[in-house]
C-alpha cells in the first residue's frame, strides 16, 4: 500500500470453492469492493462482509455452502447483539443455480449473486444496507461484467490468473457449467493484453489463461479480425519479463494442429497440459456428449509429446456415469495405462439437478462407483508418484513464489506444476532459477540451487 492510499475502513472475507475461475472471480470481487473501503479480513469473525464464492459441480461441493451458512448465522447474530453488522453474500455457481432455495433456506443471507453480475456488487451492497430481505441478481446481463469491472488492483504475485473465456456451449450430459456460467463468451484481444501487461508490471512471471473452454477462445482483435488461442499465445510470448505461460481448461475437441505445434515453438509455454478426457470408453464418451472418441484423445497426447518431448499430461475422470459397465471402466483403465499421467483428478459421478444424465435410467450403484474410483485412483497415484520420482536427479527451472515453511526455505514450482522447495534466499521470490531435484516427498519435491551466480547476486 502506498502512503497516499486510504486505509480500509471495513473488512471483507471471501471463501472460495471450486475451480480457478472462482479464484480469479474472488479477486475481482475484492477489486470491485475496494473503492467502497473494504480491505481483507483474516477470518469471517472479524469481517464486516462475508462472501461465499460457491461451486455447484458436485453435490458435496454445493452442500458445504449450506453448512457454512449455518455457522455464519450464529456469527452474524452474535455481531448484531454487539451492535455490529455483517453483510452476508452468496456468489458463484450455487447462487446461480439455487438462488431462490438459498434465500428460502437461509433468510439471513443479504445478497445472492451469480457469476455474471459481480460488477453490480457495490450497488447491491448499498441496497442491502437500506432494505430488509435478500437482494438477488442471477441475470445473464447483456452488458459484460468485464467491461464494468475496475482494472485489477491487487497484484496477484509471481503466479497470476487471467480469465479470457467464460461459459460453455458444449452441454456434457453430467455438467452444470453451461447452466451456471451461461453461453461461451470470449474477451477481446486488447483487454486481455492490457491485463497481462498490468499483471507483469505487478510482478507476475507466470500467467495462466483461464476459461471453462479456454482453447475454444476466439477474441476480436483491434483490426476487427478474430484471433484464436494459438495467435494469442504467440502475442503473449512477445511480452518481456513473462517467462511462463499456461492455459486451462481445454477440451480435446478444440485441440487443433496449430495449438499442438505451438507447444513445440513457444518456449514460454510450459510443458504441462490439463486436458480432461472423463472416460476411456467410446460408448460412455458418446453418452456424455463429449463429441470425441478415446482415439482422438490418444492421438492428441502423442502429437503433444512429439511437439514437446518433455510434455506432462493431466486430466479429469468421472467413474460411474449412468450406463457405465465394467467393460467401459476397463477401457478407462486402459487409456490411463496407455497415456501415463503426471497428475489427474477423478470423481464419482454426481447426479446434478437439471442435467440430462441425472434423469437417465441405469444409474450406477454407489458401491460400484466406490470400487471403480479406488481402482482408478490407485493407478493414477502410482503414475503421479512415478512421474515425480523420475524428476529426482533432473535439472530444471523453478519459479520461486513464496517463503517455505522452514526458515531459509523458498517454495516454487517446476515447469510441470510440481510444488518444490529449496534452501534459497527470499530475494529469489518472483524469479526463475535453475535447480537440481534431490528428493521426492509425497506432495512436493526438494531441490538445490544450481546457479551460484544467483546466490551471489541475492
Ligand atoms: N470444462 C472442463 C471441466 C469443468 S468441471 C471440461 O470440459 O472438462 C471440472 C471437472 O469436474 C470435470 O472435468 C469433471 O471431471 C468433473 N465433473 C463435472 N460434473 C460432474 C458430475 N456431475 N459428477 C462428477 N464429476 C463432475
Ligand atoms: Fe462442463 Fe462439458 Fe462444458 Fe466442460 S465442456 S464445462 S465438462 S459441459
Ligand atoms: Fe464449480 Fe462453477 Fe467452477 S460449478 S467448477 S465454480 S464453473
To the question of domain 10-137 being in CATH 1.10.3720.10, the answer is no
In the reported structure, the alpha carbon of residue 3 is separated from the centroid of ligand 1 by a whole-number distance in angstroms of 45
Q: Ligand 3: residues whose CB is within 6 Å?
A: 18-19, 21-22, 55-57, 92-93, 176-177, 180-181
**CATH code for the domain defined by 145-390:** 3.80.30.20
Please report the pLDDT score of residue 135 as a whole number. Answer: 79
The grid coordinates listed for 123 are: 450497488
For the chain, counts of helices (H) and of strands (E): 14, 21
What one-character DSSP code corresponds to residue 170?
-
Residue 19 marked in a binding site: yes
Best mutation site among 251, 254, 277 for ligand 2 pocket (most ligand atoms within 8 Å of CB): 251
Best mutation site among 26, 177, 276 for ligand 3 pocket (most ligand atoms within 8 Å of CB): 177
Record: fold of 395-457: OB fold (Dihydrolipoamide Acetyltransferase, E2P) (2.40.50)
In the reported structure, the alpha carbon of residue 102 is separated from the centroid of ligand 3 by a whole-number distance in angstroms of 17
Which atom of ligand 1 lies nearest, measured to the CA of 351?
22
Give residue-wise pLDDT tens across range 338-392.
999 999 999 999 999 999 999 888 999 999 999 999 999 999 999 999 999 999 9
Residue 301 marked in a binding site: no
Cell numbers 455483517: residue:
86
Give residue-wise pLDDT tens across range 214-230.
999 999 999 999 999 99
Q: Whose CA is nearest to atom 3 of ligand 3?
A: 19
Give residue-wise pLDDT tens across range 308-317.
999 999 999 9
Query: Any idea where the domains of the chain sit in the sequence?
Result: 10-137, 145-390, 395-457
- What is the DSSP code string of 67-124? HHHHHHHHHHHHHHHTT---EEEEEHHHHHHHHHHHHHH-TT--EEE-TT-GGGHHHH
The answer to whether residue 150 scores a pLDDT higher than 80 is no
The answer to whether residue 1 scores a pLDDT higher than 50 is no
pLDDT band at 133 (very low <50, low <70, confident <90, very high): confident
Tell me the pTM.
Answer: 0.92
The answer to whether residue 455 scores a pLDDT higher than 60 is no
Please report the pLDDT score of residue 140 as a whole number. Answer: 77
CA dihedral defined by 346, 350, 355, 357, rounded to 10 degrees?
80
Amino acid at each position: 500500500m502506498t502512503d497516499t492510499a486510504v486505509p480500509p475502513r471495513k473488512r471483507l472475507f471471501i471463501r472460495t470453492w471450486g475451480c480457478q475461475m472462482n479464484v480469479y472471480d474472488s479477486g475481482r470481487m475484492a477489486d470491485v469492493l475496494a473503492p467502497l473501503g473494504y480491505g481483507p479480513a483474516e477470518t469471517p469473525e472479524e469481517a464486516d462482509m462475508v462472501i461465499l464464492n460457491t461451486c455447484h459441480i458436485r453435490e458435496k461441493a454445493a452442500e458445504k455452502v449450506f453448512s457454512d451458512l449455518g455457522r455464519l448465522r450464529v456469527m452474524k447474530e452474535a455481531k448484531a447483539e454487539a451492535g455490529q453488522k455483517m453483510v452476508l453474500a452468496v456468489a458463484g455457481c450455487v447462487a446461480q443455480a439455487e438462488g431462490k432455495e438459498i434465500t428460502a433456506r437461509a433468510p439471513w443471507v443479504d445478497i445472492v449473486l451469480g457469476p455474471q453480475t459481480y460488477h453490480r456488487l457495490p450497488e447491491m451492497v448499498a441496497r442491502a444496507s437500506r432494505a430488509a430481505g435478500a437482494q438477488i441478481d442471477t441475470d445473464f446481463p447483456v452488458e459484460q461484467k468485464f467491461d464494468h469491472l475496475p482494472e485489477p488492483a491487487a497484484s496477484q504475485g509471481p503466479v497470476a490468473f487471467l480469465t479470457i473465456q467464460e461459459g460453455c456451449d458444449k452441454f456434457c450430459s453430467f455438467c452444470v457449467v453451461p447452466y451456471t456460467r451461461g453461453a461461451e463468451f470470449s474477451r477481446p484481444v486488447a483487454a486481455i493484453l492490457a491485463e497481462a501487461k498490468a499483471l507483469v508490471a505487478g510482478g507476475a512471471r507466470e500467467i495462466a489463461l483461464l476459461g471453462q473452454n479456454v482453447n475454444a477462445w476466439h477474441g476480436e482483435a483491434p483490426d476487427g479480425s478474430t484471433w484464436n488461442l494459438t495467435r494469442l499465445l504467440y502475442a503473449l510470448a512477445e511480452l518481456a519479463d513473462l517467462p511462463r505461460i499456461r492455459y486451462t481448461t481445454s477440451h480435446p475437441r478444440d485441440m487443433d494442429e496449430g495449438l499442438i505445434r505451438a507447444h513445440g515453438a513457444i518456449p514460454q509455454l510450459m510443458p504441462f497440459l490439463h486436458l480432461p478426457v472423463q472416460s476411456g470408453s467410446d460408448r460412455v464418451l458418446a453418452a456424455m456428449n463429449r463429441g470425441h472418441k478415446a482415439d482422438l484423445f490418444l492421438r492428441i497426447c502423442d502429437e503433444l509429446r512429439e511437439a514437446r518431448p518433455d510434455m506432462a499430461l493431466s486430466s479429469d475422470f468421472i467413474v460411474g456415469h449412468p450406463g457405465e459397465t465394467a467393460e467401459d471402466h476397463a477401457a478407462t483403465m486402459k487409456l490411463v495405462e496407455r497415456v501415463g499421467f503426471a497428475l489427474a483428478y477423478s470423481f464419482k459421478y454426481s447426479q446434478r439437478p437439471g442435467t440430462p444424465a441425472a434423469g437417465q435410467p441405469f444409474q450406477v450403484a454407489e458401491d460400484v462407483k466406490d470400487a471403480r474410483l479406488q481402482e482408478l485412483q490407485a493407478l493414477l497415484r502410482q503414475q503421479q508418484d512415478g512421474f515425480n520420482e523420475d524428476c529426482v536427479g533432473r535439472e530444471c527451472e523453478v519459479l520461486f513464489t513464496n517463503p517455505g515453511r522452514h526458515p531459509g526455505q523458498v517454495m516454487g514450482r517446476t515447469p510441470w506444476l510440481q510444488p518444490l522447495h529449496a534452501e534459497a534466499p527470499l530475494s529469489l521470490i518472483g524469479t526463475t532459477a535453475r535447480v537440481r531435484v534431490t528428493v521426492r516427498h509425497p506432495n512436493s519435491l526438494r531441490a538445490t540451487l544450481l546457479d551460484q551466480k544467483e546466490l551471489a547476486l541475492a
